[in-house]
Structures are given as structure tokens and as C-alpha cells.
């Protein structure tokens, strides 16, 4: 069982829908990450939050809107997505001490399909 | 972003050692070498990391070349549960303590019984 919990596990939505992906961890980690993974490809970093502040945005389209309401929760709000956005969305967390070299802990992802 | 190069696939027999190579010729002095693996239908799982010296943990060993332009992940006795995609990654620390992992394309390891 993973220590990073992502819900829902599967999501099917139309291009005009608004939905949210949720990620939760209780390891006391203060850095949280969103990745996108297309089939048979490696994960690609989308966003990084450090101490609840957005620290990295990898030029992700605005139809993806991240939110970190507290140190345990990370959301990804979705609106007006395109079929090419269908992918596995992975959340990860790690300790965020400067100079630390701690591993990232990944959830098992939300598999998103856009109709 | 710093890139890594790995073979697309490798095959091993159960109970035998496996050496997974990775080239990272553009590595900078502060980049750590990380390895993660991803089993089917799961998120990536941390395996091991190192900077300059060889490293051992309960899962694997990491051998790093003296010039740091390449490394090898060693699984001492492969089991069927080790069948996964193995990613070699250069990890860069970002301001505020967060970090950036840039995944290479990975090596799909098949373990034969």
C-alpha cells in the first residue's frame, strides 16, 4: 500500500466538464508534486509545491490548476480538457529541507480519460 | 534539463544478477543520480541514489563511474517481482527544498523464471 493516496483512481470526463483530482499524504512532507504520464512514456513533471507555495510550474496549460490547501493535501483542478490530456496523473511528496536528498513517494495515480 | 540514456529493454533469468546501465554525460557537479522503478499499474518507487561513491541498500547497489558520466544499477539476485521499468534520473535541488526529477525513458526489465 502506498503512503500517498490519490482519488479517484479512474475518471472519465467530457471536454466541457470541471473535475478535481485529489492527493493526500500524512508523512509530514512539505514538498508535493504533480506528474503526467502518457502510456509507455516516463512521468513528466507538471507542478511542484514547497511549504504550500507553488515553486515550479513546467509551463502547464491553464486548463490545469493546482492547489495546495494545507501541508497534507494537493489538488489538481481540471477544466476544458482536450483528448490529448488523457493520461495517468501521479502525485508525489518528499521532505523539503534545504540540502536534503530524500526520495519522492508516489501515489498510484488517477487514470484520466477525456471524451 | 540534464538527460539520461538507458537501453529500452533488458532480460534476465530469475536468481541471476542484473546490471542496468545509464549514461548521463551532461551531469553537473551537484546532480545526484537517482533510480526509481515502476511496476505495472503502480506509481514509481524509489530504489537508490548516489553522488560520487558506490552505494548499497537492501534493494540494490549503485556503481558510479569515476567521471560520473555513467552509472550502473545492480540487482544482485533478480526475482519475478523485480520485473518493472527502471528509470535513471538526475535530480536537481530547487529553491525552497523541493527538487526536480527529470525521468529518462527507462529500461523495461523482464525476468524469466
The tens digit of pLDDT for each residue in A41-54 reads 999 999 999 999 99
Return the closest-CA partner of residue A7 out of A27, A21, A25.
A21
* β-bridge mates for residue A69, sequence order: none
Alpha carbon distance A100, A98 (integer Å): 5
Contact predicate B64/B5, CB 8 Å: no
**Residue B14, min C-alpha distance to chain A (Å):** 24
Q: Nearest CA to CA, how far is B77 from chain A (Å)?
A: 23
DSSP state of A98: T
Question: What per-residue confidence (pLDDT) applies to B10?
Answer: 98
For chain B, what is the mean pLDDT? 92
Cβ-defined contact of B98 to A55 (cutoff 8 Å): yes
CA distance B63 to chain A (A): 18
Condensed to tens digits (0 to 9), the pLDDT of residues A55-87 reads 989 999 999 999 999 999 999 999 999 999 999
Confidence label for B99 from pLDDT (cuts 50, 70 and 90): confident
In which residue are the cell numbers 549514461 written? B23
The H-or-E segment that residue B40 falls in is none
Least confident of A60-64, B40-44, B68-72, B93-97: B93-97
pLDDT of residue B97: 65
Give B100's pLDDT tier (boundaries 50, 70, 90).
confident
In total, chain A counts a number of residues equal to: 115
Interface test with B, best of A3, A43, A91 (most B CBs within 10 A): A43
The answer to whether the Cβ–Cβ distance between A50 and B100 falls below 8 Å is no
The Cα B89–Cα A82 span in angstroms is 29
Amino acid at each position: 500500500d502506498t503512503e500517498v493516496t490519490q482519488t479517484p483512481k479512474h475518471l472519465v470526463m467530457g471536454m466541457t466538464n470541471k473535475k478535481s483530482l485529489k492527493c493526500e499524504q500524512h508523512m509530514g512532507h512539505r514538498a508535493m508534486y504533480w506528474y503526467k504520464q502518457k502510456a509507455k512514456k516516463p512521468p513528466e513533471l507538471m507542478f511542484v509545491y514547497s511549504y504550500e507555495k507553488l515553486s515550479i510550474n513546467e509551463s502547464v496549460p491553464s486548463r490545469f490548476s493546482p492547489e495546495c490547501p494545507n501541508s497534507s493535501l494537493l489538488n489538481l483542478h481540471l477544466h476544458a480538457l482536450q483528448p490529448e490530456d488523457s493520461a495517468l496523473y501521479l502525485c508525489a511528496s518528499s521532505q523539503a529541507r534545504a540540502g536534503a536528498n530524500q526520495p519522492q513517494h508516489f501515489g498510484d495515480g488517477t487514470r484520466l480519460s477525456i471524451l | 534539463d540534464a538527460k539520461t540514456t538507458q537501453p529500452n529493454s533488458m532480460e534476465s533469468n530469475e536468481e541471476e544478477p542484473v546490471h542496468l546501465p545509464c549514461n548521463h554525460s551532461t551531469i553537473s557537479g551537484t546532480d545526484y543520480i537517482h533510480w526509481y522503478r515502476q511496476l505495472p499499474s503502480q506509481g514509481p518507487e524509489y530504489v537508490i541514489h548516489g553522488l560520487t561513491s558506490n552505494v548499497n541498500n537492501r534493494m540494490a547497489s549503485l556503481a558510479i563511474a569515476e567521471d560520473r558520466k555513467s552509472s550502473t544499477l545492480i540487482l544482485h539476485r533478480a526475482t519475478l517481482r523485480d520485473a518493472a521499468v527502471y528509470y535513471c534520473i538526475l535530480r536537481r535541488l530547487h529553491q525552497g527544498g523541493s527538487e526536480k526529477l527529470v525521468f529518462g525513458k527507462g529500461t523495461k526489465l523482464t525476468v524469466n523464471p
